[in-house]
Amino acid sequence: RPDGPILGIESSCDDTAAAVVRDGREVLSSIVRSQIEEHSAFGGVVPEVAGRSHLDHIIAVVDRALDDAGVGLDDLRAIAVTTRPGLIGSLLVGLSAAKGLAFGRGLPIVPVHHIEAHAYAGTMELDEDPYPCVALVVSGGHTALYRMEGHARMECLARTLDDAAGEAFDKVASLLGLPYPGGPSIAALAPEGNPKAIQFPRYRAKPERPSFSFSGLKTAVLYHLRGQNALNPTPAPEDIADRADVAASFQEAAVDALVKPTIQAARDQGVQTILVVGGVARNERLRAKLSEAAEAAGLRAVYPAPTYCTDNAAMIAGLGHHLLEAHGPADLELDASAR
């Protein structure tokens, strides 16, 4: 149906998601099945567990998305699916489901880049298009800056050289004995501590090339906990006297490491607007500091609703619409890629 909505399928990490979206914007349904409970015992996402869980749930999630939208497969215009980047075993589950449905019903299929879809998600609820803008995509799996000229026109400006910011929150939380996912746990504890108690290092990118890095910060937290002696054992969480100070000081350093390159990139690019998306975009301290720095630089930071910050398939179906308009469908041989 050329005028029908698009079914989006997302399975790149630990959320099994499907959504039905019309014209890139009108969300008819959006179902997200989180695997947090299945991974929480491990303190992080276990790839094999994730892949198998996607396989168990993908059909039910797609069915529910279609039901909630009140449409059948034959009402669709196309199927958009995340093909990269992500956990390869997880991606292949969503892609195989999408290929099966597309082949079975003769529907066009559209491959979508997960991080670009996060950036696009930032525009879905805005009254006006923000282009040109810079998008900071900051989550458990990615930390990247994009220049966006239009819905399907984006260019990656910078990415993390090592860990994603959310991953650093998760790892530090686990060192402190806080529950997974670590971002909300650290954000909840931080207000009880002093953000200036410990001067954790801030990664400095070359001025001409913005980039991010979080592994040095993570190691600095570990060394702090070990009393600056790598040979000491990591103390048990209940033996860490300054947990709240560590949480507050770590959060401050992580936020600074995000704010500086983002403002710099927006200035270099000569844009007015910064979109902030991804799970870490929920962090209140990040919002406060980024908005303040943006205002000081004469820029505007925009934060979309939390529903579209975290992994979902509405953003896949949404961007899929514009990709289909711009480039047409892919053929059924398309493959997934971890990178």
Q: Which residues of this chain interact with ligand KG4, rule CB under 6 A?
A: 13, 139-141, 166-167, 169-170, 181-184, 187, 278-280, 282-283, 310-311
Specify the residue, 222 or 330, whose C-beta has the smaller distance to ligand KG4: 222
Which tokens sit at 222? Answer: 């570990």
* Smallest separation, CB 230 to ligand KG4 (Å): 26
> Is 33:331 a contact under the CB 8 Å cutoff?
no
Q: x/- string (CB under 5 A) for Zn ion, residues 294-313?
A: -----------------x--
In 3-state terms the chain splits into helix, strand, coil percentages (rounded to 5) of 45, 20, 35
Alpha helices in 156-230 (DSSP H): 165-175, 182-189, 215-225
CB 296 within 8 A of CB 259: no
Query: Residue 170 touches which of ligand KG4, Zn ion, none (CB < 5 to 8 A by kind)?
Result: ligand KG4
**Please, which residue, 77 or 142, has the CB nearer to ligand KG4?**
142
Token pair 């239009």 is found at: 150
Binding of Zn ion at residue 35 (CB under 5 A)?
A: no
Report in angstroms how near the CB of residue 267 gets to ligand KG4 at its nearest: 25
Min dist. Cβ of residue 225 to ligand KG4 (A): 19
According to the annotation, is 141 in a ligand binding site?
yes
Q: Compute CA 149 distance to the chain's CA centroid, rounded to the nearest angstrom.
A: 20
Pure H helices in the chain: 36-40, 47-69, 88-105, 114-121, 165-175, 182-189, 215-225, 243-269, 284-296, 306-309, 314-327
State the binding string over 149-178 for Zn ion (x if CB under 5 A, else -). ------------------------------
Nearer to ligand KG4 (CB atom), residue 5 or residue 86: 86
Compute the distance between CA of residue 190 and CA of residue 339 in angstroms, rounded to an integer: 33
Is the CB of 86 or the CB of 108 nearer to ligand KG4? 86
